[in-house]
Structure 1
Amino acid sequence: MKKLKTALLSYGMSGKVFHAPFLELHPRFELTGSWERSKKLIQQDYPEVKSYSSLEELLNDDVDLVIVNTPVETHYEYAKKVLEAGKHALVEKSFTTTTAEAEELRDLAKQKGLKLSVYQNRRWDSDFKTVKEVIDEKLLGDVVEAEFRFDRYNPNLSPKIHKETANAGAGVLKDLGSHLIDQAIHLFGLPNAVFADLRITRKNSLVDDLMDILLYYSDKRVRLRAGFFFREAVPAYAVHGTKGSFLKSRGDIQEDELKTGKKPTLEGWGIEPEDKAGILHTEKHGEVYRGHIPTRHGNYYGLFDALYHSITEDKPEPVPAEDGVKVMKVIDAAIQSSEQKKVIQLK
């Protein structure tokens, strides 16, 4: 079977931690190299690959797929150039900075017959996979309310300048928020309306670092929260339905293990500690049940495997560009809502 020659647009943390290890693990991907502007690091880890000095050099090479893992404000410009060069693209979150940009990229990929996917890896986290299974199996009955959180305690500004400079791609909404919005849409679809409160809480911060978003559906409400002053974490997922509730802490270990240099595998990877198991309190066969439910294994390999089959067999992308458009619609509505202090209708 064909190997997909794949290049990265940067080899910082995302390239080194989230992409290259899985491209190396998957037998049908071939990492050709990365565009490196100043620091030349990729050949220290992968001596056989190239360090491209420019985007043009990379796009002129024999490459099938390009991973756009640069700062958010550059995604639209670079992804457009990748598609215009006839390459398939995997774009980091947030997909773009506006809905209009996302729609243009989606339409361009369709026009050229190329695959365009968004790197929403948190769909393959162990905790979220477990939440999705509980909902899909109707263990809670019909969902009436849910709250998803990405809580951290880190009052210090990021050393990454692009994350703390006031620009169109910066802020918690387009960083952690895009994960939560994508998960909500993946489970429940595009909401009817959005209300949001975006704030700056860290000293000397220039970008939003606390978000509180309420998604309105006809039969449920979904709340999404993220910020940097949560030293004592509450459940990352709280889902309540007509039969009962499911509470789950954020327990996926993949990012932490990848940051230590641990290489992913197909077996025994992404297994949470047992003490992170979620609590299910519901009804089974007419009787009340309360206990822990085993956590699914997480593995970002699934995203890359689905992307490979999407490109080589013309199957749907693991996270289609249309999903990226929907996330951007919610993000744009959240910004508008916070500025105007009112509910913004989407449908």
Structure 2
Amino acid sequence: MKVNSYGHPHLTSYYEKKLNIAYVGFGKSTNRYHIPYVKTRDNMTIARVVNRTLGKRPEQAELEATGTIFSTDINDIINDESIDLAVVVTPAFAHYDTAKQLLLGGKNVLCDKPLVETVEEAKELINIANEKNLFFMPFQNRRFDSDFLTVKKVIETGYLGDLVDITVNMDHYRPNDFSEGENFDGAWYGHGVHMVDQMISLFGTPESVQYDIRATRDYDSVDDYFSVNLMYPKLRATVAATEVAALSHPKWIVYGTRGTFVKNDVDQQENDLKVGIMPGVDGFGCDTPADFGLLTYYNTNGDRIVKHIPTVTGDYGRVYDTAYESIINGADKLVSDEQILSVIATLENGFKK
């Protein structure tokens, strides 16, 4: 039997081996963006959960009933040889220390966003993982947003010709929801990490970056607004967010030499999750036709064509599918080490003088 690049045996069938997963952290993110998707996959098992405090929440009781072990000591994960993947879903400030402890303990690690604050920290963790032949990757679930997948499909089909300008917005209206903290706690790291990763996954590392990052609701609060241009040889890719948008921008606007694509609405997975509609339910995360993006382009005859593009279905659980393929079958990681460093460098440089 062959051994893959992360030290696990290659298997002849995708479903012969179950991926035993352990979580560090059991808050909203774990129970909204991670566990509901893992539950829909027959080739994965939630073996352990470690959290600083334990109660008898319904979510805990449900998992315990199916065999998940809860405890408060991260060493329970490190010492459990059956664990194939440890997932870090702690508050962001604890990502670096927690991921480092797990990697040094010999565990493959998937870490929630933002991964870490600095390139130096990211390099250290990547080096540990590579030296120990371990899987290490951030949970960039918004690579599987339906709106992003739809934009990606439109670009790849060639409707738009050569791209000139692309903008993605993340708008909210939360005029009084500001707080103090460090740069790592603001919108640029919190929201920008996803949008920067999406752009880098499409276009690679930008040649230069132009930053406008501000606190708009309260001068002493962490940043809550940014408009940042990632500059490529023939393309400007803009990522922007605000917390005071009473009327939101379109989520995506893409201009090319032959056409324009506009997608107004965000991925519906998060909206469904917030009201308790879970993955696996019919219609989960699906757009209605009224939410489809609008494509306007000129064909080779010079005819102006306008049509709606059905939304590609999103699925955050596909991050876990790619992790499975990497850990069990030796496939390349969804997010490469180079992309990890490029994203963190873009974020970190936003606050350098």
User: Is TM > 0.5 for Structure 1 vs Structure 2?
Assistant: yes
Match in the other structure for 1:278: 293
List per-residue Cα deviations over 1:205-241 (Å, max 9, x = no partner). Answer: 5211111111111111111111100111121111101
Contact 2:54 2:72 in 1 (8 A): no
2:207: which partner in 1?
192
Per-residue CA distance 1:80-106 (angstroms, 9 max, x = gap): 111111111111111111111111111
Note the C-alpha offset of 1:58. 2.5
- Residue type at the aligned position of 1:290: V
1:300-311 pair list within 5 angstroms: 300-311=316-327
Match of 2:335 among 287, 309, 319: 319
Instruction: Tell me if structure 2 keeps the 8 A contact 1:157–1:205.
Output: no
| Corresponding position: 1:151 with 2:168 | no
CA distance in structure 2 between the aligned counterparts of 1:227 and 1:63, rounded to whole angstroms: 40
1:289-339 CA distance string (max 9 Å, x none): 112111111112222111111110010122234322111111122222xxx
Matched, 1:51 2:73: no
Residue 69 of structure 1 contacts residue 91 of structure 1 at CA under 8 Å; is this kept in 2? yes
Report if aligned partners of 2:146, 2:315 keep a CA contact under 8 Å in 1: yes
Q: Does 1:132 align with 2:148?
A: no
Q: Structure 2, unaligned stretches of length 5 or more? A: 1-15
Residue identity (%):
33
Shift of residue 284, structure 1, vs aligned partner: 2.2
Tell me if 1:175 matches 2:190: yes
Moved over 6 A (4+): none
Q: How many residues align?
A: 332
**Cα distance change, pair 258–45 in 1 and its aligned pair in 2 (3 A):** farther
* Structure 1 pair 228–108 and aligned structure 2 pair: CA distance change class (3 A): same
2:223 counterpart residue number:
208
**1:1-20 per-position Cα deviation (integer Å, ceiling 9, x unaligned):** 11111111111111001111
1:344 aligns with: none
Partner of residue 345, structure 1: none
Following the alignment from structure 1 to structure 2, what is the Cα–Cα distance between the partners of residues 155 and 52? 39
Q: Which residue of 1 aligns with 2:120?
A: 100
Written as runs of structure 1 = structure 2, the 5 A alignment for 1:227-246 is 227-246=242-261
Q: 2:345 aligns with which of 326, 329, 342?
A: 329
Superposition deviation, residue 168 in structure 1: 5.1
* Matched ranges for 1:216-295 at <5 A: 216-265=231-280, 268-286=283-301, 287-295=303-311
TM-score by length of 2: 0.90
CA drift of 1:259 comes to 2.3
**Separation in 2 of the partners of 1:203 and 1:329?**
27
After superposition, the C-alpha distances for 1:156-187 in whole angstroms (9 at most, x for unaligned) are 337xxxxx442352100111111110111111
Q: Which runs of 5+ in 1 are unaligned?
A: 159-163, 341-347
Given that 1:9 and 1:69 are in contact with CA atoms closer than 8 Å, whether structure 2 keeps it comes out as yes
Structure 1 residue 267, shift from structure 2 partner? 6.6
Report the TM-score when normalising by structure 1. Answer: 0.91
